[in-house]
Amino acid sequence: MTKVKIKPDLKKSQLVKCLGGRKASRLSCSVQSKVMKLSVIAAKLIKPLIYYQRKTLESQQEDCLTLEGGISFKSRKIARVMNTCECEEVVCFIATIGDGIERKSEKLLRENRLSEAYILDAIGSVAVENMVDKFHSEFITRTKMDSKGLTLRFSPGYCDWSIEDQKKLFNVFHSNHLEVQLRDSCFMSPRKSISGIFGIGPFHLDFSEHNPCLECSRVDCTMRRT
């Protein structure tokens, strides 16, 4: 298991989208002021951490991936992506920014400062997503040097991958040594955490074309990548 720290960027455009807007100009002056103030606070509360492991992809069936060690993930859509991209390895990861923002948001709620709590929570969501995006991008650069490429990343609970497989994903790691814990509900603690996988395969393939979102009818999905 490898552990890395990647500082996220709090991109304004992503935050505006998370707050339900399209352009920063559509946010009121008071909201923009709160965003700036809370972004400074958030930056001090974030404790970025990513755990990951590279695993050989031992076998693929039509709706299932089996990694070395016998751990299997069931998803027809992801299995098809991995098979089409001729993936030989899978990177499993668990990422978190810690519980600082979570605890601060709860404190703001208790003080009835609802808008600030909501904005700070949104900043946390944007931060952990950006951190994982940077992690994925850094892996793309690294694998290019080995003449390989990456698939998109996938997380339990999205596409047709059951949230229950979160338990199997955590079994890839020594969970007692993680700063992220899995609840019985299969949600993670701290809340601002993301887990998932992505495949490694031959670089000559254009992996960006292999996107299951292009074939999905759920146009209102917040994680849609088209």
Helices 29-45, 100-110: axis angle to 10 degrees equals 130
Contact 123, 170 (CB under 8 A): no
Report the pLDDT value the prediction gives residue 146, as an integer from 0 to 100: 83
Report the pLDDT value the prediction gives residue 177, as an integer from 0 to 100: 80
Report the pLDDT value the prediction gives residue 112, as an integer from 0 to 100: 96
pTM of the model: 0.86
Report the pLDDT value the prediction gives residue 209, as an integer from 0 to 100: 55
Neighbours of 205 (CB within 10 A): 16
Rounded CA separation 42/97 (Å): 10
Rounded CA separation 29/118 (Å): 16
Q: Where are the domains of the chain?
A: 2-215
Look at residues 103, 111, 124, 130 and name the one whose alpha carbon lies nearest to residue 43: 124
Report the pLDDT value the prediction gives residue 144, as an integer from 0 to 100: 83
Contact 222, 129 (CB under 8 A): no
Evaluate whether the domain defined by 2-215 bears CATH number 3.40.50.11720: no
pLDDT by 10-residue block (mean), the chain, 226 residues? 91 73 67 88 95 92 90 91 89 97 96 95 94 93 85 89 94 85 93 95 66 54 52
Contact 180, 190 (CB under 8 A): yes
Rounded CA separation 176/163 (Å): 21
Mean pLDDT (the chain) is 86
